[in-house]
Amino acid sequence: MVKVEFSLKDKINLLAPYVSKKITDQVRAVALIILYLTVFQTVVLGIPISQASVLAGGIAVIIVGLAFFMEGLFLGLMPLGEVIGIRLPQKSKLPVILLFSFLLGIGVTLAEPAISVLQVAGSFIKPWDAPLLFLLLNRYADILKFTVGLGVGLAVIFGMLRFMYNWSLKPYIFVLVPIVTVASLIAFFEPNLKHLLSLAWDTGAVTTGPVTVPLVLALGVGITRVMSKGDAETGGFGVVTLASLFPIVAVIILGLVLLPTVPKPMDQQAFFSASNQAKAERLFNDRTELISYALQNAEVSAQKQLFDGSRTELLNYVEQLKHDSKLRRQIFGSQQMEAMERWAVSNGSPEQRRVVFATSEAERAAVVKYRAELSKPLDLTEVSVRHGMSALQAVLPLSLFLLAVLVIFLREKLPHADEVFLGIFFALAGMFLFNIGIELGLAKLGNQVGSMLPSSFKQVELTEQTRIIHNFDEDVVITSLRPDGTQERFFYTNMNNAYVQVPFHEARFDEASGQYIHVPARGPLFGGEDSLAGFLVVLIFAFIMGYGATLAEPALNALGVTVETLTAGAFRKTLLIQAVGVGVGMGITMGMVKIIWSVPLIFLITPPYVLLLFLTFFSTEEYVNIGWDSAGVTTGPITVPLVLAIGLGVGGQVGAVEGFGILACASVFPILTVLTVGMTVNIKKRALYKGTEDK
C-alpha cells in the first residue's frame, strides 16, 4: 500500500485539534469537583486555600495525566483485552480459559494500587479498639491482599462461565447478595468482626480500579461477541459486579478463621496488661514491635502495663534506648538519635522527654527544630519515583501477561501492535502523571477541605495558619466573665491591620522565650456546637462532592464509552455518568451519616441491598448488567482520596473508631439510581407500545 507522508504543517494541523479535544474533555470532567472544593473552602468555610500554586500545578498535571491515561485505555489496554476476549474462546478449552481467568483475577488485584489506600486508611486504627482489623491491615496485610485476590480470581472465573454459557447476571446476584448480607449480619454481632465488616465491604469496592475495569470489560465484550447466540449486546458486563461481591465474602471468611487467635476489643490498659500480653503480641511480629507500637501510640498509663505497671521500669527502658543503638533501630526504625528525639518531641510524655534530653535548653531547641520540620519542603524526586513505581506496577505486569497470553499461548498476531504499545505507554505515563497530580493537587485540596469541614459544626484549629507572637507579655491578657460566673481569658492582637480577640491558652505561652503560639480557630459556623444545621452542611457537601468526583472517574468514563458504543449511542455516556454521580453522592452522604452518628454500616447497607434485589428482579438484563457494574467502577482514584480525607477529617472530630464503609455506601446507591433510571425508561416505553398495540 502506498504510504502517505505528512508534512510538518499537516502534522501540526492534525495534532492541535486532537490534543485540544482530549484536554478539554478532561477539563470538563474535573472542572466541577475542583471548582466546587475551592469555592466551598473559600466561600462557605471562609478559609483561604493554602499552597495554591502547588495545588494549581497538581491539578494541571491531573488533567494531562487523565488525558494520557484515557487515550492509553482506548488505544492500548482495551483493544488488547478485546482481542484476547475474541480469540480465547475460539482457540482454547474451558479449563484453560478458567485458569487464565483465575490468574488474571489475582494478578489484577495484586497490581491494584488502590488496595494500599485501605492500608493508609487503616493506619490510625488502634489494636485495642479493633484487634482483628489491626492485624489484617498490618501484620497480615499480605494475607489480606491475597485473600482479596482469591476472591477476585473466583469472580473472574464465574464471570467467564457466564459469558461462555450466556447466563443471566441475575441468579448470581440473587445468590451472592443474600450470602453477603447474612454473613455481614452474623459478623455484626461479633465485636471483632463488626469492625472488619466495613473493611470487607470497602475491599469489594476498591479492587475494581481504573486499569482493571476497562480491561475486564473489554475482555468480556470480546468474549460475548463470539459466544453470544441470543440477543445480549451488554452481556460483556458483570465481572466487575462479581469482583465487588466475592472479596467481601472472602474477607469475612478470613476474619472468621483468624478470629480465635486475636483478643477482644478492650481499653488500652487492659490491652497491654500482663494477662492479655500473650494475645496482644500475636498482633505484632514480636514483643519489641509491641513495645515500639505502645511507645508511639499508647498513653503512658498503658505503656506502663508492659513493664508490670512500673513507671520507673518504663523510664529505665527509655534510658536504655538512649544508649542501645541496636534496640533504637528496632523501636524507632533508625539507629540515629534523631529518630528518638523526634519521637520524644511528638509523642513522649514530659518525664520521657526529660530522660531523652539532658537539659531543658536542649529540649526546647529540639522542639523548635522538629516543629519546623513538620512543614518540610516538597521532595519532587521522591514523589516521582514512588508514583513511577506504582504506575509501572499497575500497568506493566498486566499488559505483559495479556500480551504473553495472546502471542505465546494463543499464537495470534497482535493487530495494530504499534498502536497498542503506544497506548500502553500512554496509560503508563498517564497513570504516573495522574497519581502525582492527585497527591499534589486533589488530595491536598481534599485534605484541606476535609480537615476544615468539621468547622461547620465544631471549633476547628487552623494549624496551617499558626503564628508565633514574639515578646508576649501576660499583662495584655484580659479576664472576662461568662454568665455562669466562670472566668475566661483573652487578649487582643493586631493581625493584618485588624485588632482580633484571641482566647488565651496557658499551654501555648512559653515564658522562657516570651513566645506565644497562636493557632487561629474557626467555627462552629452554622449554629452551635454539634448543631443539626452544621451536620446538614456536611451532608450536603458530601453529596455534591460525591457527584462531582464521579464525573471525573476514568473507569466510569471507560464504562460509559463502552455502553455507548454497544448501544450505538442510544444509551449515552452522560446519562450513565449522571445517574451514577447522583448515586455516589447519595452513598457518600450515607457514609457521613454512619460516621457522624456512628450508625452501624449494616443498617445503611442492608435496606438498599434488599431493595436492589427487588429492582433487579423487575429490571431488564441490560440495565442489571450496567447498573451493577457501575457500582464497582465508581470508587476510583478521584473519589477514594477525597472520601478518605473527608472521612478522616470528620471522623477524627467526632471520634469514630474507623472511617471505613463510606466507599461501600458509595457503591450501593449508584446501582439503585441506574436501575431506577432503567425502570422509568422501560415503563414509559412499555406504556407507549402498549398504547400502540391496543389501537
Partner 1 sequence: MEKNVHHCVEQSTGKQLCKIFLSVDTMFSKDAIDELENLGVARLSVETCRGIVLRHRKGLKALIRSGTDLKENAERQITFFALPTQEEKIIHHLVNKLHLNHPGMGSIYSRRVEVVRTTLPCPGKELPIAESGRAPVVKKLRGITCITLKGEGNSVAVVGLNTGTGVPNVSYGKGTGLRNRVGLWRILIPAEKEITTLVVDEHDADTVMDMMISAGKLDRPWKGFIYSYPVSMGVLNTKFYDGETQQAASVEQIVSALDEITGTTEWRKKSLFLQGKGKSRRDYLTNLVDFTVTCNEGLGELMTEFAMEAGAGGATISLMRHVDMCGSETAASSARENISMVVNDKQVGPLTSALEQAGLFNDQASGEIVRSPAYKAFT
Binding region for partner 1 (CB under 8 A): 1-6, 11, 14-15, 18, 75, 83, 86-87, 90, 225-231, 233, 415, 418-419, 422, 565-572, 622, 682, 685-686, 688-689, 691-693, 695
148 versus 577: smaller Cβ distance to partner 1: 577
Minimum CB separation of residue 191 from partner 1 in Å reads: 50
Phi-psi region of 487 (alpha: psi -120 to 50; beta: other; left: phi over 0): beta
Minimum CB separation of residue 167 from partner 1 in Å reads: 16
Backbone φ and ψ of 489, nearest 5° = -115, 140
351 closest CA partner among 366, 339, 363: 363
C-alpha to C-alpha distance for 453 and 592, rounded to whole angstroms: 12
Do 239 and 216 meet the contact criterion of CB atoms below 8 Å apart?
A: yes
Minimum CB separation of residue 136 from partner 1 in Å reads: 44
Residues in the chain: 695
Residues ≥6 apart with Cβ < 8 Å to 614: none
Residues ≥6 apart with Cβ < 8 Å to 277: 290, 306
662 closest CA partner among 598, 611, 592: 592
11 versus 369: smaller Cβ distance to partner 1: 11
229 versus 323: smaller Cβ distance to partner 1: 229
Using DSSP's 3-state secondary structure scheme, residue 6 falls into: coil
Give the strand pairing for 467-469 and 515-518: antiparallel
Do 187 and 249 meet the contact criterion of CB atoms below 8 Å apart?
A: no
Residue 183 CA, chain-centre distance (Å), reads: 24
Do 335 and 328 meet the contact criterion of CB atoms below 8 Å apart?
A: yes
And the C-alpha cell for 585?
453522592
95 versus 230: smaller Cβ distance to partner 1: 230
Backbone φ and ψ of 232, nearest 5° = -135, 85
226 versus 517: smaller Cβ distance to partner 1: 226
Residues ≥6 apart with Cβ < 8 Å to 69: 210, 426, 427, 430, 431, 434, 554
223 versus 643: smaller Cβ distance to partner 1: 223
Minimum CB separation of residue 18 from partner 1 in Å reads: 5
Minimum CB separation of residue 583 from partner 1 in Å reads: 22
17 versus 377: smaller Cβ distance to partner 1: 17
Minimum CB separation of residue 4 from partner 1 in Å reads: 4
Residue 102: count other Cβ atoms within 10 Å of its Cβ. Answer: 19
Angle CA 38–43–47, to nearest 5: 75
Do 238 and 159 meet the contact criterion of CB atoms below 8 Å apart?
A: yes
C-alpha to C-alpha distance for 115 and 110, rounded to whole angstroms: 8
Minimum CB separation of residue 43 from partner 1 in Å reads: 26
Q: Containing H/E element for 509?
A: strand 509-510
Minimum CB separation of residue 12 from partner 1 in Å reads: 10
20 versus 360: smaller Cβ distance to partner 1: 20
369 versus 572: smaller Cβ distance to partner 1: 572
Minimum CB separation of residue 85 from partner 1 in Å reads: 10
225 versus 386: smaller Cβ distance to partner 1: 225
43 versus 568: smaller Cβ distance to partner 1: 568
Minimum CB separation of residue 648 from partner 1 in Å reads: 38
Minimum CB separation of residue 75 from partner 1 in Å reads: 6
Unique residue bearing C-alpha cell 446476584: 173
And the C-alpha cell for 315?
523510664
